[in-house]
Amino acid sequence: MPHPQYKRILLKLSGEVLMGEQEYGIDPVYVARLAEEVKAAKETGLELCLVIGGGNIFRGVAGAAKGLDRTTGDYMGMLATVMNALAMQNALEQLGVQTRVQSAIPMSSVCEPYIRRRAERHLEKGRIVIFAAGTGNPFFTTDTGAALRAAEMGCDALLKGTSVDGVYDRDPKLFPNAKRYDTISYGEVLSDDLKVMDATAVALCRENSIPIVVFSIREKGNVARVLAGEGTQTIVRSNKGEEA
């Protein structure tokens, strides 16, 4: 059963998880496995939308560091998220799940433009909506795009599936003794500069009282466990007395 207060959620996946065990690109087998997890979450009765990053194909910041104009690099990164969204849509529809891709950059031959009311209607009809191309603007990450869409859609939570099983005080891949948090406040994440999501995304979630649930997407079946209130996860939310 889903967590009782969650009726509608946004699932944010990093583009890197679509690589599977590859060094870059899209692994169709791994995308199919992820689609099964998303389908299982949908079958609990949740209204579900997705945002997928593009780092498995192109990352604007990395391109800018190598001399590419940052604005151009960010637009290229947005196009990469559309490719990932189409790959996930294909995998979900092969499982019989009705899905719509909406892009913040209009490309009518490929997918729908982002229209909030249309997205709401898709969710009400039981379709999964995949939001692509971030916010449609350079200098904003897909984390911020996910937080923005979660707020616009009135989501009860933003689930972030990553390669680690929660929020740590230091990078657990580099520091084996890093401390993992079960719960932490938005303010602590921002003041300690913890790498959960970028600061704009965290602040946007705080302003709209949207809890951020961070968990490992690489562990099979973890989405369902997290939605049931089980499994290893970190919940980022307001402390008592902290302004929303």
pLDDT of 40-58, one tens digit each?
Answer: 999 989 999 999 999 999 8
Structural contact between residues 235 and 213, judged by C-beta atoms closer than 8 angstroms: yes
Q: What is the pLDDT of residue 63?
A: 67
Distances (CA, A) of 128 to 97, 100, 216, 232, 244: 8, 6, 21, 25, 28
Residues 93 and 99 sit within 8 Å (Cβ to Cβ):
yes
Q: Is the pLDDT of residue 229 over 90?
A: no
At residue 7, the pLDDT reads 93
Per domain, the residue ranges of the chain are 8-237
215: confidence class by pLDDT, cuts 50, 70, 90 = very high
The CA distance from 1 to 159, in Å, is 16
Confidence class of residue 1 from pLDDT cuts 50, 70 and 90?
A: very low
For residue 113, pLDDT over 80 is answered with: yes
* Residues 92, 221, 142, 144, CA torsion sign: positive
- Report yes or no: 238 and 188 within 8 Å, Cβ to Cβ: no
Contact of 87 with 17, CB cutoff 8 Å: no
Which CATH number applies to 8-237: 3.90.550.10, 3.40.1160.10, 3.20.20.70, 3.90.110.10? Answer: 3.40.1160.10
The yes-or-no verdict on residue 89 having pLDDT over 90 is: yes
The tokens describing 158, both together, are 């933003």
> Which contiguous run of DSSP H or E holds residue 82?
helix 70-94
Half-sphere exposure of 21 (CA within 13 A, CB side): 1
Please give the angle made by the CA atoms of 212, 146 and 48, to the nearest 5 degrees. Answer: 80
With cut-offs at 50, 70 and 90, classify the pLDDT of residue 64.
low
Residue 222 pLDDT: 85
Average pLDDT of the chain to the nearest whole number: 91
- Residue 76: phi and psi, rounded to 5, are -65, -40
Mention every residue, 6+ apart, whose C-beta is less than 8 A from residue 2: 41, 44, 45, 46, 227, 228
pLDDT exceeds 80 at position 239:
no
d(CA 41, CA 192): 32
Per-residue confidence at 231, pLDDT binned at 50, 70, 90?
confident
Model confidence, pTM: 0.92
Q: Which of 1-10, 74-83, 152-161, 216-225 has the lowest mean pLDDT?
A: 1-10
The mean pLDDT value for 78-83 works out to 96
Of 73-82, 140-149, 225-234, the one with minimum mean pLDDT is 225-234
